[in-house]
Chains A and B, each alone.
Chain A
Amino acid sequence: MTPKEYKYSPEHEWICLEPEGKGRMGITDYAQSHLGDVVFLELPSPGTQVKQLGKIGEVESIKAVSDIFTPVSGEVLEINQTVIDEPQLLNQEPYGNGWLVRLKLSNPAELDALMNSDEYDAYIAKLEEEG
């Protein structure tokens, strides 16, 4: 189930707002299911400045490598060390314990450009159809 309170990017990342202008991001269930079993993650170091839709890391499965793009601009505060140590979490709980990066948003207005959960569901339904 696509969480209702999150926002989504066309590259299949999600962002969940937290208090004090922070946000938690990850990749969607659609993304993880297409990747297959995740074996490795490369995430940016805390302190890194990132720009909306810029590449911030990579996620690797046994058959593919995908770039990870940030849905919003800001500064990396922390990365989820648990998912780095146990990459299968990303497959099992992409919206929960498989989160990737916590950011301080530099421009919250950017969220308006992202999709809500209904729009994202429609988006991936169309992708599946085009096949």
Chain B
Amino acid sequence: MPSPYLSNTDADRGVMLQEIGVSSAEELFQDIPEKFRHARFTLPSPLSELELKKELGHLADLNANTGDYACFLGAGYYQHFVPSVVGHIIARGEFYTPYTPYQAEISQGTLQAIYEYQSLVCQLTGMEVSNAGMYDGSTAAAEAALMACRITGKSKVAVLSTVNPKYTEVVDTYVIGRNLLLENMQPDSVKLTSDCACLVVQQPNFFGYFEDVGAYARKAHDAGALLIVVVDPVSLGMFKPPADYGADIVVAEGQSLGNPVSFGGPGLGIFTCRKEYLRQLPGRIVGRTVDAAGKPGYVMTLQTREQHIRRGQATSNICTNEALVALAVTVYLATLGKQGLRRVAELCYHKSHYAATRISQLEGYSLVFPQHFFKEFVIRCPIVPQQINKALLDKGIIGGLDLSHMIDNSMLFCVTEVNTRQEIDRLVQVLGAL
């Protein structure tokens, strides 16, 4: 059968070939040396939509999904409630099939939504300006580090050991590329030398608890360095925004705000900063203006920072980012609003504390860190976490992250508003019975 994605018939092609002045399509490939033109490809035979939906359905069924299991896994990607509105809006063809909004006059929907996005994440983080988003939280952190190096003219990036280790790895990849240096620091021995461009911290940190970010800000600024804070955006429904601590750049993983976990991708790198650093901000930025009729409208602005103009001098090489994910964040924040986001944060807080209390009351289980936490906490376990997780999976529960390689016999548990009391009680019951 002909392909449903090709809109021309053999007759159409025949007419077009005639107009072009060739007798076969093969003639159009003459610039390619003959020996290269007829490669053989070993690929599975094509199947129809009907058959493939079934096949992909089988592949999907091989995965334990968090809809069918009670999930207590966090560590950077979080199961949060996504209101149905979000999915319906981003499924509109007018939102998911257009190109990047370079032709502003026919992209006002996308552009205005990005302006709303920029505004909303600034309200959330307390920072003054935002870009349209980057690939994910980790690359946002990496680009923030590079930006700090450009602003200060210095070449060292300090990262706290309590930052998500995967983020540190990504910062390292980017930093090595530019021949810069990354230095890991322990929270209790932060010493910033004069060649330090920035200090990267996470709040709450990778282990779930809050640190004295204000003190880090002072240390960084005293050394002439910028403070970069990686934040949990949902925590901002309840907890102090990093701007109030003196942050210069605030980044976050936007997946939690209206997007499924999706095996870690696509996500969104939220990227906000102080107004004075605007010209060093990587990525797209949308600004409000007027059109020829004097009506309000939106355009991409400050494009002279970007690759298509600056080329080798660009602030970043980023082109395609995660626009549709940012749209989901925008719809989510609009839907939850002031009261909703606060409520989600409070539910996470109280449920996770209930879980932490009950688990740590079990024989052999203890809370590792005494500091205040939001929705994640580390538990020391009486048996090897790998075994615990296997047992939990058999009982329909996805357990916390095995942290044994960092802290003996420990697990990082996460509880959000989607975990019911019954799920938590069941987790405690199963752990107690092991």
- A–B contact with Cβ pairs below 8 Å: the answer is yes
Question: What secondary structure prevails in chain A residues at the interface with B?
Answer: strand
Write the chain B residue with the least CB distance to A42: B279
Taking a contact as CB atoms under 8 Å apart, the answer to whether B310 and A62 are in contact is no
By the criterion CB–CB under 8 Å, are A63 and B309 in contact? yes
Return A112 CB to nearest CB of chain B, in Å.
33
Q: Is the CB of A64 within 8 A of B309?
A: yes
Is A60 an interface position by the 8 A CB rule?
Answer: yes
A40 & B309 in contact (Cβ 8 Å cutoff): no
Interface residues of A, CB < 8 Å — how many? 7
Residue A65 CB within 8 A of the other chain: yes
Cβ–Cβ < 8 Å partners of A64 in chain B:
304, 309
A61→B310 CA distance, assembly (Å): 12
- B303 within 8 Å of A (CB atoms): yes
Distance in angstroms between the alpha carbons of A65 and B310 in the assembled complex: 7
Chain A residues within 8 Å of B313, by CB: 65
Chain B residue, CB-CB nearest to A65: B304
B320 to chain A, nearest CB (A): 21
Expressed in whole angstroms, the Cα–Cα distance for A11 and B201 within the complex equals: 45
Determine whether the beta carbon of B303 is less than 8 Å from that of A40.
no
- B309 and A65 contact, CB distance less than 8 A: yes
Write the A63-88 contact mask toward B (1 if CB under 8 angstroms, else 0).
11100000000000000000000000
Closest Cβ of chain A to B311, distance in Å, is 10
Residues from chain B with Cβ under 8 Å of A40 in the complex:
279, 304
Query: In whole Å, how far is B305's beta carbon from the nearest beta carbon of chain A?
Result: 9
Q: How far is the CA of A64 from the CA of B313 in the complex (A)?
A: 12
Kindly identify, within residues 272 to 321 of chain B, every residue whose CB is under 8 Å from any CB belonging to chain A. 279, 301, 303-304, 309-310, 313
**CA of A62 to CA of B300, assembled, Å:** 10
A50 to B301, CA, bound (A): 32
Complex alpha-carbon distance, A65 and B313, angstroms: 10
Residue of B whose beta carbon sits closest to that of A63: B309
Do residues B310 and A63 form an inter-chain contact, with CB atoms below 8 A? Answer: no
> Considering the complex, which residues of chain A in the window 30-48 have a beta carbon less than 8 Å from any beta carbon of chain B?
40
Q: Mark B135-162, 1 if CB is under 8 A from A, else 0.
A: 0000000000000000000000000000
Chain B residues with CB under 8 A of A63: 303-304, 309
Could you tell me the distance between the alpha carbons of A22 and B371 in the complex, rounded to whole angstroms? 64
Q: How far is the CA of A65 from the CA of B309 in the complex (A)?
A: 8
The closest CB in chain A to the CB of B279 belongs to A40
B279 and A62 within 8 A (CB): no
Shortest CB-to-CB span from B103 to chain A, Å, is 15
Provide the bound-state CA to CA distance between A62 and B301, in Å: 8
Instruction: Please indicate which of the listed interface residues B301, B304, B309, B313 has the most CB atoms of chain A within 10 Å of its own CB.
Output: B304
Which residues from B are CB-within-8-Å of A60? 304
Q: In the complex, which residues of chain B have a beta carbon less than 8 angstroms from the beta carbon of A62?
A: 301, 303-304
Q: Which residue of A lies closest to B313 (CB)?
A: A65
> Please, how many angstroms separate the alpha-carbon atoms of A65 and B304 in the complex?
6
Cα–Cα distance between A40 and B310 once the two chains are bound (Å): 15
Q: How distant is the Cα of A68 from the Cα of B349 in the complex, in angstroms?
A: 55
Instruction: Determine the chain B residues whose CB is within 8 A of the CB of A61 once the complex forms.
Output: 304
**A85 CB → nearest B CB, Å:** 16
**Bound state CA distance, A60 and B279, in angstroms?**
11
Q: Nearest CB to that of A66 among chain B residues? A: B304
| Alpha-carbon distance A61/B309, docked complex (angstroms) | 11
A60–B309 alpha-carbon span in the complex (Å): 11
For B279, list chain A residues within 8 Å (CB).
40
* Shortest distance between the CB of B105 and any CB in chain A (Å): 16
Contacts of B310 in A (CB 8 A): 65
Tell me, in angstroms, the Cα distance from A62 to B304 when the chains sit together. 7
In the complex, what's the smallest C-beta–C-beta distance from B278 to chain A, in angstroms? Answer: 10
A65 neighbours in B (Cβ, 8 Å): 304, 309-310, 313
Using a CB–CB cutoff of 8 Å, the interface residues on chain B facing chain A are 279, 301, 303-304, 309-310, 313
Extra contacts, 4 of them, besides A40-B304, A60-B304, A62-B301 (Cβ < 8 A), are: A63-B303, A63-B304, A64-B309, A65-B309
5 residue pairs, one from A and one from B, having the closest CB atoms: A65-B304, A60-B304, A65-B310, A64-B309, A63-B309
Q: Pull 6 A–B residue pairs with CB atoms less than 8 Å apart, ordered by A.
A: A40-B304, A61-B304, A63-B309, A64-B304, A64-B309, A65-B304
